[in-house]
């Protein structure tokens, strides 16, 4: 049960006597009496409304007229922090790309808020050789993408070889999430600039890695200063990204989900679920490895 954020007024009889007055002070016959302190038999780590109540006696009984003198006929107390509801899970849909053998889940709606994403599949799955490049050297390419123009959200999947400037070893066990993030971000730019200049456009906030079903996944969060679909020209507005990368056949498969910083607090948790669900799948007969037919553009 969730109560409104405003204060809650409860009758006096709801609370045991020791919690009514500070320091257990009792006002009776114009005299202040300090009650003996009693230790609570329950854990003292989490305070409750009451652990043990004093037995009413002629010396510690409180009458309504005494409370009226103190102005305590009713109490307004905030609800304890433990009274909370679990955050509602969004309704998710699955996406499967058999050409590149991966899948992920993406948010569709949040029923309680009557909120729905307005997804448009801007780029349908396609093979690496014919996919749109993200930089003039065409190393990193978008193999699928969906966009919500109304809520300013983008989920895209890219494939590209590791950047030898940041990943120098072929042994994946030696790779760090920061190295993988720098490798991917160095190739994400449509400008004719160096890899280091492209990397300066991004700020990596945090990174970590996790092994799932025997496959290593590297996770990273970052901001991009030059962001598409900007809502404002203010310099403080960036595009906020979450991303996950895995390696197969010598190529990095990466999913990224993003929105502008003013929308991050509301949409960020949903995008996190999408990125966390990204998985490489066992190839089927429809799978086309990135190195196959590099000359083919259809």
Structure tokens at 275: 């990125």
**What's the pLDDT at 28?**
41
**What's the pLDDT at 233?**
52
Q: Is 189 exposed, middle or buried (0-12, 13-18, 19+ CB in 10 A)?
A: buried
Q: Could you give the 3-state DSSP secondary structure of residue 276?
A: helix
Rg over CA atoms, the chain: 29
Length of the chain: 298
**What's the pLDDT at 278?**
98
CB 3 within 8 A of CB 83: yes
Q: Among 108, 140, 111, 141, which residue's Cα sits nearest to residue 125?
A: 141
CB-CB neighbours of 117 under 10 Å = 20
**What's the pLDDT at 297?**
59
CB 296 within 8 A of CB 130: yes
CA distance 98 to 281: 9
Q: Domains plus CATH for the chain?
A: 89-278 (3.40.1000.10)
Tell the residue number behind the tokens 């030898």, with chain if given: 164
pLDDT 10s per residue in the chain (298 long)? 444 444 444 444 444 444 444 444 444 444 444 444 444 444 444 444 344 444 444 444 444 444 444 444 344 334 333 333 336 688 999 999 999 999 999 999 987 778 899 999 999 999 998 898 887 778 899 999 999 999 999 999 999 999 999 999 989 989 999 999 999 998 876 444 454 454 456 789 999 999 999 999 999 999 987 544 444 555 567 899 999 999 999 999 999 999 998 999 989 999 999 999 999 999 999 999 998 876 665 5
CB 221 within 8 A of CB 204: yes
User: What is the pTM for the complete model shown?
Assistant: 0.66
The DSSP call for residue 40 is -
**What's the pLDDT at 187?**
83
Reported in sequence order, the residue ranges of the chain that DSSP labels E, i.e. its strands, are 8-11, 25-28, 31-34, 74-77, 91-97, 102-110, 115-116, 120-123, 132-133, 141-148, 153-160, 202-212, 215-224, 239-248, 251-260, 279-280
Q: Could you give the 3-state DSSP secondary structure of residue 106?
A: strand
Distances (CA, A) of 11 to 14, 15, 114, 119: 6, 8, 36, 51
**What's the pLDDT at 202?**
76
CA distance 15 to 80: 14
**What's the pLDDT at 88?**
66
**Cross-strand bridge partners of residue 256:** 156, 243
CB 250 within 8 A of CB 161: yes
Q: Among 97, 102, 104, 148, which residue's Cα sits nearest to residue 124?
A: 97
């Amino acid at each position: 049960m969730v109560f409104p954020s405003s204060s809650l007024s409860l009758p006096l009889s709801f609370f045991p006597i020791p919690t009514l007055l500070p320091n257990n002070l009792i006002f009776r016959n114009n005299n202040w009496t300090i009650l003996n302190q009693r230790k609570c038999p329950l854990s003292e780590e989490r305070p409750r409304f009451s652990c043990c109540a004093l037995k009413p006696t002629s010396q510690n009984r409180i009458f309504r007229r005494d409370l009226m003198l103190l102005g305590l006929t009713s109490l307004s107390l905030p609800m304890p922090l433990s009274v909370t509801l679990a955050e509602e899970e969004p309704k998710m849909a699955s996406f499967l790309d058999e050409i590149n053998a991966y899948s992920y889940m993406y948010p569709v709606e949040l029923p309680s808020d009557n909120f729905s994403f307005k997804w448009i599949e801007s780029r349908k799955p396609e093979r690496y050789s014919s996919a749109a490049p993200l930089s003039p050297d065409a190393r990193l390419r978008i193999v699928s993408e969906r966009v919500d123009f109304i809520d300013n959200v983008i989920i895209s999947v890219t494939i590209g070889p590791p950047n030898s400037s940041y990943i120098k070893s072929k042994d994946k066990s030696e790779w760090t999430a920061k190295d993988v993030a720098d490798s991917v971000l160095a190739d994400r730019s449509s400008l004719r600039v160096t890899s280091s200049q492209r990397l300066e456009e991004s700020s990596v906030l945090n990174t970590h890695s996790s092994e799932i079903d025997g496959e290593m996944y590297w996770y990273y969060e970052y901001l991009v200063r030059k962001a598409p679909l900007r809502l404002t020209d203010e310099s403080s507005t960036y595009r906020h990204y979450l991303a996950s990368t895995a390696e197969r056949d010598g190529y990095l498969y990466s999913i990224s989900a993003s929105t502008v910083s003013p929308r991050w607090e509301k949409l960020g948790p949903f995008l996190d679920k999408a990125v966390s669900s990204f998985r490489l799948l066992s190839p089927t007969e429809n799978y086309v490895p990135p190195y196959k037919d590099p000359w083919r553009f259809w």
